Amino acid sequence: MKIVFISPDDFAPWRKPLRLNIPEADVFAWGVDSIDENEIDYALVWKPAPGLLARFRNLKGIINLGAGVDALLQDHTLPQAVPLVRLVDERLTSGMVEYMVHWVLHFHRDLHVYARQQRARVWTQHDNADTQKRRVGILGLGELGQGCAHALLMLGFESLSGWSRTPKDLPGVRSFAGEDGLKPFLRQCEILLCLLPHTAATQGLLNAETLAELPQGAFIVNAGRGGLVVDDDLIAALESGHIAAAALDVFNTEPLPDDHPYWAMDNVFVTPHIASLTTPMSSSEIIAKTIRALENGEAPDNLVDFDQGY
Ligand code: GLV
């Protein structure tokens, strides 16, 4: 079996974990090793150049080395008959849970206010908001959103809600769904966590109209995709104070351009797409499991539905 690794990231940390988990495979690094494209069975990819995957004529599977497949699906030459699998990994989920819980606590406990106070040498105490009553909403209740819900419930955030395309029955999470459910959901989110995939249906979902539905002084954390947000509209809402602060890990253009307003805004926290990073060791186990399923003619977990876009 022959596997090609195509990613802007370094292949070196992957070599050993892949050999351990898929000892029967020869793994080649695109751009490094010499490769006969017709001999490759599986491609492990992160943001391959558009058109590249179409050159591998005998692929049995494409495995995305991240949760979001939006970049891949923009490649109109992507072979549609080849199963495409996205990465769902406990480590990826726990990384995201850490990131989201961090910002929920940060905003819930006014740490953004105290950071400002420190710079001005101000000693003023503010009442702690009631954790049970703090209304946190999760936009997107897939694997990552459910992981966050679970952790937040354990911390006592009992006024938790979630929005998804179709209703989800999750203990402790008030479920909103579909287009009709979006505005009622947003109206009651004091802290909004965005974890939706970027698809044709979610492009620009957070815009002037929808942001206006959030309560005055709401907080936003986006670790889904930059394309969910209309930046000019979010900037206007942050400038007016309608949105008190935002923590953003993903952007319409990455890296975030030097002259982008977000960098300098006092109420914006920018991180460089690090909310959750793929780790070679845990991912290699999932990749091995996926390849075994495909080799056995079984449907692997987390097969991408091309029509839904995730
Ligand atoms: C990262 O953004 C991912 O899709 O896993």
pLDDT in tens, 195-230: 999 999 999 999 999 999 999 999 999 999 999 999
Q: Where are the domains of the chain?
A: 2-89+278-295, 90-270
Mutate to test the pocket of ligand 1, among 144, 198, 254, 276 (most ligand atoms within 8 A of CB): 276
Confidence of residue 88 (pLDDT cuts 50, 70, 90): very high
- Residues 306 and 234: their CA atoms lie apart, in Å, by 30
The gap between the terminal CA atoms of the chain, to the nearest Å, is 27
Find residue 248's DSSP bridge partners.
Answer: 222, 270
Q: Do domains 2-89+278-295 and 90-270 have the same CATH topology?
A: yes
Query: What does each C-alpha distance from 17 to 22, 25, 77, 291 come to in angstroms?
Result: 8, 12, 30, 15
Q: Note the CATH number of domain 2-89+278-295.
A: 3.40.50.720
pLDDT per residue as tens digits for the range 110-163: 999 999 999 999 999 999 999 999 999 999 999 999 999 999 999 999 999 999
Mean pLDDT of 47-60: 97
Q: For residue 287, what pLDDT is reported?
A: 98
Q: Note the CATH number of domain 90-270.
A: 3.40.50.720
**Percentage above 90 pLDDT, the chain:** 100
Mean pLDDT of 232-242: 98
Q: Is the CB of 95 under 6 A from ligand 1?
A: no
- Measured in Å, residue 89 CA sits from the centre of ligand 1 at 11
- Residues 129 and 259: their CA atoms lie apart, in Å, by 36
Q: For residue 98, what pLDDT is reported?
A: 98
Q: For residue 238, what pLDDT is reported?
A: 98
Q: Is the CB of 67 under 6 A from ligand 1?
A: yes
Q: What share of the chain is helix, strand, coil (3-state, %, to 5)?
A: 35, 15, 50
Instruction: Find tokens 């740490």 and name the residue.
Output: 111
Q: Is the CB of 68 under 6 A from ligand 1?
A: yes
Q: For residue 179, what pLDDT is reported?
A: 96
Looking from the CA of residue 65, the nearest atom of ligand 1 is 5
When the pLDDT of each residue in the chain is averaged and rounded to a whole number, the result is 97
Q: For residue 275, what pLDDT is reported?
A: 98
- Residues 113 and 245: their CA atoms lie apart, in Å, by 10
Q: Which residues are catalytic?
A: 225, 273
DSSP alpha helices (H): ranges in 172-296?
Answer: 178-187, 208-211, 231-240, 280-295
- Measured in Å, residue 293 CA sits from the centre of ligand 1 at 23
Among 186, 185, 155, which Cα is nearest to 168's? Answer: 185
Q: For residue 115, what pLDDT is reported?
A: 96
Q: Is the CB of 226 under 6 A from ligand 1?
A: no
Looking from the CA of residue 87, the nearest atom of ligand 1 is 5
Q: Look at the alpha carbons of 99, 279, 42, 143 in this order and tell me if their dihedral is positive or negative.
A: negative
Confidence of residue 96 (pLDDT cuts 50, 70, 90): very high
Mean pLDDT of 237-257: 98
Q: Is the CB of 45 under 6 A from ligand 1?
A: no
- Residues 276 and 17: their CA atoms lie apart, in Å, by 19
